[in-house]
Chains A and B, each alone.
Chain A
Amino acid sequence: MTASSGTDPLEVLVWRGKSDGRYQRFEVPRRDNQTVLDVVTFIQRECDPTVSYRFACRVGMCGSCGMTVNGRPRWTCRTHVSTVADDNQLQIGPLANLPLIKDLVVDMTRFFEKWQAAGGTFVPTKSRHDEIAMLRPSEPARVSADAAVECINCGVCFAACDTVRWNEDYLGPAALNRSWTLVNDTRDGGQAGRLQALAAHGGCTACHSHQSCAEHCPKGLNPTRSIAGLKRRTMAAYLKGEISR
């Protein structure tokens, strides 16, 4: 770790237990260039080995370390303590809108089930014996897909979305955003089924364009824009009779 910045230690509240648990208070030495993940790691190694949390790459590539920090869902490895610790205080909890396993670890099953339900799976039309599909990055469909394709399923947008919290059937911004990339994939053969799923209850029509997802996405993606595109696409299909009425 880098040198101590010689200030008071951080007062860190960490959620312990399940949904009926409580915050536990720890003191963590303040350092220069310290991330919230550094803080949680320190707590687990030096204070209480029973603290459960998730991380992997530590450098903002994998999306595993999402937690609620002072009320906002974010990647803890890319959140510097200096930007969030008001008065040397930090409050760290699990991501919202997902079942809590223990402490800072949530069950991502529902997140990925909605991913599948939104038609987030590629449906191939060619085999290895066919010619490779030619995709030009400059084509409008590919531009739309590329703008949304960098999602790494971290769950931050899902945790930030009020509509996810209010409507348990809502597929959520990440799943719909991924589906949008496949709707724009000219190689995909599953559009009919996908559009049907998207036009159903809890699909893209449930989004109210709050844009909390775009506000919070650590990769700067814009699921609201993708969902708006899905609304246009599904409504066109509905009006043309391609989706069952």
Chain B
Amino acid sequence: MKAARLYVAQRLTAALMAPLVIGHLAVMFYATSNGLSAADILGRTSGSVGWALFYGVFAVAVAVHAAIGLRAISIEWAGASEQAADGLMLISGSVLALLGLRAVAAVVFPGAL
């Protein structure tokens, strides 16, 4: 049942991301209040399996979670049909996952271009 599947996915990614968000907030507080430069940041993330996993999982989870949320908003606030909402969900989820994983790759393998 699709509605049930989406509901479970939304709650699971939410539960997964709760600690990831707290971790990310800690990282941002540290990086910004210590005025880290790109060199400082990339020095820590470059080649790091830990950061790759942390943010890789985060990127995929947020792509799923945001896509399902946008689907609900499009139905309830933009009057979209179920099919149109599903389309929006697939497109937004793919774009977010792609850009997110690209960003993770960028900081783990900087200067790869």
Contacts and interface: CB of A to CB of B under 8 A. Distances in A.
**Is A–B contact present in the complex under a CB 8 A cutoff?**
yes
A238 B76 contact: no
A205 to B, nearest CB: 4
Contact of A167 (B1, B6, B7, B75): B75
Interface residues of B, number: 12
Interface of A: 163, 166-167, 196, 199-203, 205-206, 231, 234-235, 238-239, 243-245
19 contacts: A163-B76, A166-B75, A166-B76, A166-B77, A199-B1, A200-B1, A201-B2, A201-B3, A201-B82, A205-B4, A206-B3, A231-B7, A234-B4, A238-B5, A239-B8, A243-B4, A244-B1, A245-B1, A245-B5
B96 to A, nearest CB: 22
**Which of B2, B4, B7 is the most central at the interface, judged by chain A CB atoms within 10 Å of its CB?**
B4
Given A201-B82, A205-B7, A238 B75 contact: no
Nearest to A196: B1
Interface class of chain B by DSSP: helix
Contacts of B5: 238, 245
Contact of B4 (A163, A202, A238): A238
A86 to B, nearest CB: 31
Interface in B1-28: 1-8
Given A238-B8, A239-B8, A199 B3 contact: yes
A76 to B, nearest CB: 30
